Each structure stands twice: as C-alpha cells, then as structure tokens.
C-alpha cells in the first residue's frame, strides 16, 4: 500500500515474512538468547542426562550460524555503533565556516534594519519556510492564506482576523508546527512536544483518506519503507526505517542526544545530524519530513539563541529537492555512521539560505534608500511618476523587458498619453531615467 509520494514514496508495505528487520548482529544475539532460554530452562532440565554440550559451549556456534544466515546489514541504523553518527571535522570545516560567515553577514545586516523592515523580513521568511516545507512533499499551500496566518501570528498590523473556521486547516497545521518548534528553543524538547506537533499537523487524524496514528509514534507491523513505484515491476526499495516496536527506544536516544548536545558540537552540524537521524528513524506514520525540518529549524534557533526566523532552509531544500533526497539516501542507505557528506551538504544549504536572506535585506534596504533619496532630491515628483518609478524599481535591475514605453506608463498610472509623454520627458531631464530609441521605439530605462 503506497502512501502517495512520487517519485519517492514512503510506503507501509505488506510484510511478506513477518520477521522484524534488524541487524545481523542483533538478530544473532536475540536468536541466541531465545535458544539459550529454551535449552537453559524446561527443555534443558528434561534433557539433562543426554545433553553433551553446555549452553555456553554451543551458543557461539549458534550465533555464528544465525548471523551467517541473516541478511547483511543494509541501513544506517543497522551499523555497529548506531546511533553514534560522526563526521570528519576537518572535511566539513570549509562548508561550516562558509555557512557561519553567511549567517554572520545576515545577522549583522538584520541588526541594522528598522523594526518594520525586520518584521517584513521575518514575515517573508516564515511564509517561504511554510510554503516550502509543505511543497517538498508535494503539498501546495495557498500563499495568500499562509501570508494572512503569518501576519496574524507575528501580530502585524492589518493581520487577518478571520475566525478560525475560515482559515485553511493545512496552512494552520504547518505554521503551528513551525511556530511551536522555534518558540520552544529555550527549554528541553520532550516526546510530548513531538506528539503535540504531530497531532497539530494531522488535526483530522488522517493523512489524505488514510486514518493514521496521530500524536504518537507509529505502531504498524509493516516495515516503514521508502520506495519508488515502477509500472509493472517491483518497487525499488531506497530505505527501510527501524521496526515500529523499536521506535520508542530510538526516539528516547534521539531526544537524550538532542537535549544534551547543544554547545558540544557546531550548531549547524548539530542541525544536520538532528534532521538526518530523525529521518532515519522515521518515527511517525506520516509528516516525518515536515517535523524533521522543523527540528532542524529548532536546532538552528537554539544555536543562534533566537526564535526569530530570518532565513528559510526548507526553501533551499525545495530548490534542490532531488539532491536533498539523494543526499538523505546516500547517508541512510548504507550501514555506515560516517555522515560527513551529509553534514557538508546541509551546511551549504544553510549558507545559501542565509545568503538568500541577505540578498533580500539588501533589496529592502536599497528600496528604502531609493525612496528616501528620491524624496530628498525630487520632492516635487507627481504621484504617477512615483508609481511608475516604483514599479520599475521592483522589476529589478533589468527593469521591464524592453524598457518603459509611453503606452506602458499609461497602463501603469492611468494618466493620458499627453501626460505620460510629459512625465517621462521630465524624468529623463532629471536624469532619473535615460531615453533610448526613437519614435514608436522610444523607451525609458535606468541610467547605468
């Protein structure tokens, strides 16, 4: 039974052999223990006179045989030493430093923002993060409902005050999780927090039409698998998470690490490990991607000691979605605990997220400067001229394709052709725009 992801799908497949996946080592041990028990108690008593070997003597042989018959370990959680993930600190140094530098640039620039601009930046980053984290798994949130909800949550003026029933439930669910994740950066994370996030993400108790366990770890007996379905052929298996029965122990270890690792390793690397480890366990029936990305956000908020959202890592993961899946698969699809490549890759996403935000702030600052210079040097510009210059500015350095024509000016501002001609000539004389071409081909562009 395939969930719904394409091309990658998290699927709870019907188990053919009801054996719980486990490492050869663990399997050998548990089989060994089972046998020791049987031989050691009632059966052993009954066979006492003819039993030529003691349990101790026979156990290593049994273990060896069981291990030899068991499938070889295949997934990261089957590696000996799991769950101690590690990475080559020297190899990740360059990408972590680049991420740190980008974060520093962003924070420095953000500190120079006016309150209103800072709020606008956070508003945009929240919106991007919510839309992107949902879209990674193909869920499309309506941008206008995300923007309205973010504005309300940030307490921005003019925020949507629509009653709860009128709000988009999926948008609210995604934002509830993002908000809860960053808001709780100062206190330890608990299993109950994660359950609450999960319950918030699936308020109807269903994922699509499928009823799922919400607000609790998955319990289904079928293995949790990531597969690519193929028409007429068997699915390609990319990853199999630990059995549901083992999830509580895996998550207890994850939570203990998360709550004690802050400050012991680099914060960006910690966010990378937190996300990867969580995805490797895949503790919920659904929503693991979104909750795992919220956890990475929480780790980054803890690292920066601030709940302020100033960049969107999910937007960068979405922009490189195929790579994101490939990197996860490369890390989880082998019984190897060295996750150096994943940490490097994740750090580069953080760097790009910070750079994108810095670019965004520079645009905002540039626009503020542009308007203030315009106000100082040309206080007598008409409303139509301001409107046209503003639209041209928002269109970016290249301006409108082919430049601003008299007709476009009329369409933008609603003035007559005669006024448009007069306004544009005036802007050219003030050297705010440059006239190019002649006759019907006349256009106005930004000076170089």
Of residues 211 through 230, those in contact with ligand ATP by CB under 6 A are 226
Angle at 383 between CA 382 and CA 388, to 5 degrees: 100
Which stretch in 209-217, 285-293, 368-376, 440-448 sits in contact with ligand ATP by CB under 6 A? 285-293
Query: How many binding residues for ligand ATP (CB under 6 A)?
Result: 21
Of residues 340 through 399, those in contact with ligand ATP by CB under 6 A are none
- Residue 73 binds ligand ATP, judged by CB under 6 A: no
Annotated binding site for ATP: 286-293, 324-325
- Catalytic position from the list 5, 250, 282, 352: 282
Among 77, 185, 239, 277, binds ligand ATP (CB under 6 A): 239
- Residue 289 binds ligand ATP, judged by CB under 6 A: yes
Q: Let me know: does 167 contact 154? Beta carbons within 8 Å.
A: no
Distance between CA 248 and CA 383 in Å, rounded?
64
Look up 282 and say whether it is catalytic. yes
Q: Determine the residue with CB nearest ligand ATP.
A: 289
Closest CA to 257 of 271, 243, 244, 268: 271
Among 218, 238, 309, 360, binds ligand ATP (CB under 6 A): 238
Among 223, 267, 292, 399, binds ligand ATP (CB under 6 A): 292
- Residue 8 binds ligand ATP, judged by CB under 6 A: yes
Annotated binding site: 286-293, 324-325
How many helical (H) and strand (E) elements, i.e. helices and strands, does the chain have? 17, 7
Closest CA to 297 of 346, 260, 252: 346
What is the pattern of x (binds ligand ATP, CB under 6 A) and - over residues 100-139?
------------------------------------xx-x
Burial class of residue 350, CB neighbours in 10 A (0-12, 13-18, 19+) = buried
Q: Let me know: does 445 contact 403? Beta carbons within 8 Å.
A: yes
Alpha helices for 222-266 (secondary structure H)? 247-260
3-state secondary structure 254-294: HHHHHHHCECCECHHHHHHHHHHHHHHHCCCCCCHHHHHHH
Which stretch in 14-22, 34-42, 279-287, 376-384 sits in contact with ligand ATP by CB under 6 A? 279-287
Distance between CA 279 and CA 294 in Å, rounded?
12
- Residue 286 binds ligand ATP, judged by CB under 6 A: yes
Of residues 313 through 332, those in contact with ligand ATP by CB under 6 A are 325, 328-329, 332
Distance between CA 122 and CA 232 in Å, rounded?
48
Catalytic residue numbers read 282
Residue ranges in contact with ligand ATP by CB under 6 A: 8, 10, 136-137, 139, 207, 226, 238-239, 279-280, 286-290, 292, 325, 328-329, 332
């Amino acid at each position: 039974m395939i969930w719904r992801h394409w091309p990658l799908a998290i699927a709870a497949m019907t188990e053919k052999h009801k054996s719980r996946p486990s490492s050869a080592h663990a399997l050998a041990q548990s089989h060994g223990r089972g046998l020791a028990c049987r031989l050691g108690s009632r059966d052993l008593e009954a066979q006492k006179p003819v039993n030529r070997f003691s349990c101790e003597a026979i156990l290593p042989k049994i273990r060896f045989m069981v291990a030899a018959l068991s499938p070889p370990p295949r997934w990261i959680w089957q590696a000996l030493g799991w769950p101690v993930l590690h990475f080559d600190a020297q190899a990740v140094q360059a990408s972590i430093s680049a991420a740190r530098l980008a974060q520093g640039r962003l924070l420095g620039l953000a500190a120079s923002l006016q309150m209103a601009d800072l709020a606008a930046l956070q508003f945009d980053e929240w919106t991007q993060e919510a839309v992107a984290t949902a879209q990674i798994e193909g869920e499309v949130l309506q941008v206008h409902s995300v923007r309205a909800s973010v504005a309300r949550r940030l307490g921005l003026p003019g925020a949507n005050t629509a009653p709860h029933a009128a709000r988009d439930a999926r948008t609210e669910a995604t934002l509830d999780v993002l908000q809860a994740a960053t808001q709780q950066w100062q206190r330890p994370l608990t299993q109950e927090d994660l359950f609450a996030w999960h319950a918030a993400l699936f308020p109807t108790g269903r994922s699509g039409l499928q009823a799922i366990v919400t607000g609790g770890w998955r319990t289904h007996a079928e293995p949790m698998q990531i597969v690519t379905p193929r028409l007429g052929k068997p699915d390609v298996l990319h990853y199999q998470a630990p059995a549901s029965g083992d999830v509580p122990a895996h998550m207890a270890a994850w939570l203990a690490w998360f709550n004690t690792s802050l400050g012991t390793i680099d914060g960006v690397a910690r966010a990378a490990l937190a996300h990867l480890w969580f995805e490797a366990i895949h503790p919920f029936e659904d929503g693991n991607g979104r909750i795992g990305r919220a956890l990475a956000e929480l780790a980054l908020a803890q690292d920066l000691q601030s709940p302020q959202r100033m960049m969107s890592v999910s937007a960068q993961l979405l922009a490189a979605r195929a790579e994101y899946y490939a990197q996860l698969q490369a890390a989880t699809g082998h019984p190897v605990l060295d996750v150096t490549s994943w940490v490097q890759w994740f750090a580069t996403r953080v760097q790009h997220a910070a750079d994108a935000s810095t670019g965004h702030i520079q645009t905002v600052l540039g626009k503020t400067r542009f308007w203030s210079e315009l106000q100082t040097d040309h206080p007598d510009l008409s409303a139509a001229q301001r409107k046209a210059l503003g639209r041209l500015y928002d269109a970016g350095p290249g301006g409108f394709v082919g430049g601003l024509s008299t007709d476009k000016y009329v369409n933008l501002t609603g003035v007559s052709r005669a006024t448009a001609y007069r306004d544009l000539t005036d802007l050219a004389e003030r050297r705010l725009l440059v006239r190019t071409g002649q006759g019907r081909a006349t256009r106005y562009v930004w000076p170089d």
